[in-house]
Amino acid sequence: MSSNQSGQSLTRGYIGNIVAAAKTTAEGMAVTLAQYFRRPTTVQYPDRTDVPVSESLPERYRGFLEVDMDICTGCKACERDCPIDCIVIDLEKKEDVRGVVRFDIDMGKCMYCGICVEACPTDAQSVGDLEQTKCIRMTKEFEGATSDFPTLTFRFVRPGDFVPFFKPKKGEISSTKKRGEIARYVRKKAQEYNVVAVRWAYAHGGAGAQKGGAADAVKEEVLLKRAQELEPLVKEAGNDVKKVEDLLYSQALAQTDCEACGWPTCRAYADAMISGKDGEFFKCEPGGAEATRDMNLILQIRLGKPLADAAKATAKVVLEHHK
């Protein structure tokens, strides 16, 4: 091949490459331009979907947890069974009525295993759901993006509120609100007041701390004061077994009928303690150290022990069985 011919072929190759590049670019641009005239296959989230995404999810979707406090028995089964301590429940007694003063779930920590739901004994049916649910349940709510982690701690009892225990009838399926309503409400509230909530939690012994631990329950002055309160009630009940049962039920046990003590109801446990069928006076899990203290004080005072001795023996049992 002459040098002239080889120069022409090089020029053709060079121009051919430019043409090919221009053609490929034009083809790419044509594909891009065509998108302006086609119907979009994506939807702008979250405000242009036909229905809210949470409503299009399957019924068994595991989103945020919610609790209907109107049907919560305060049995603490969910708190006990959570393997990573996401749930904190505090109970209190006001004028002989027991109730929940705190029910927090840390959704930032939760691994959505559903064990708490399995543990809950309160069956319920949500409006619009095909399947039965529980007092604590998974919802289809999922939007938790935040730059402020405490806003993922959902509080089902407002600070300062007192929610009396719900008493379901045996075998009853309680009706409950539409699934997701409560989760949406508490998430909104968490975003509004969680800074205050976190401070409140720490003021009550730190987030995750149990109120009324053993050390608090057996402080000398607390024990003696409680023994003095219980002494006239024990004397009034005397040897009337029914009255002693009432006393244990109203003054010591948590009254949730959760069966954690191994007896089907709180009254059955009280009866077993009085009759000697159960000699373990520390098994009321929801009542914790305070319940152990009060049932031991009642039973010690019944035996006729001086208050100081009853308090001493009680402190020993509480510290042995509670942290």
| Chain contacts with ligand SF4 (rule: CB under 6 A) | 65, 67, 72-78, 82, 84, 86-87, 89, 105, 110-116, 119-120, 122, 135-136, 253-254, 256-261, 263, 265-266, 269, 284-287
Shortest distance, position 316 Cβ to ligand SF4, whole Å: 21
Q: Which is nearer to ligand SF4, 46 or 264 (CB)?
A: 264
Shortest distance, position 303 Cβ to ligand SF4, whole Å: 21
Sign of CA dihedral 142, 158, 193, 127: positive
Whose structure tokens read 């009542």? Answer: 287
Q: Which is nearer to ligand SF4, 159 or 168 (CB)?
A: 168
Two tokens, residue 277: 């069928």
Q: Which is nearer to ligand SF4, 143 or 220 (CB)?
A: 143
Q: Which is nearer to ligand SF4, 39 or 60 (CB)?
A: 60
Two tokens, residue 224: 């003696």
Two tokens, residue 7: 């120069």
Shortest distance, position 110 Cβ to ligand SF4, whole Å: 3
Closest CA to 122 of 182, 60, 78, 180: 78
Spell out the long-range contacts of 228-237 with Cβ–Cβ below 8 A and sequence spacing 24 or more.
228/307, 230/294, 230/297, 230/298, 230/301, 231/301, 231/307, 234/298, 234/301, 234/302
Q: Which is nearer to ligand SF4, 62 or 312 (CB)?
A: 62
Closest CA to 110 of 156, 70, 142, 158: 142
Cα 271 to the center of its chain, rounded Å: 31
CA distance 323 to 320: 8
Shortest distance, position 83 Cβ to ligand SF4, whole Å: 6
Q: Could you tell me if 142 and 190 are in contact, meaning their C-beta atoms sit under 8 angstroms apart?
A: no
Shortest distance, position 102 Cβ to ligand SF4, whole Å: 11
Shortest distance, position 158 Cβ to ligand SF4, whole Å: 16
Q: Which is nearer to ligand SF4, 75 or 244 (CB)?
A: 75
CA distance 165 to 46: 38
List all residues 6 or more positions away from 8 whose beta carbon is below 8 Å from its beta carbon: none
Shortest distance, position 34 Cβ to ligand SF4, whole Å: 47
Q: Which is nearer to ligand SF4, 112 or 202 (CB)?
A: 112
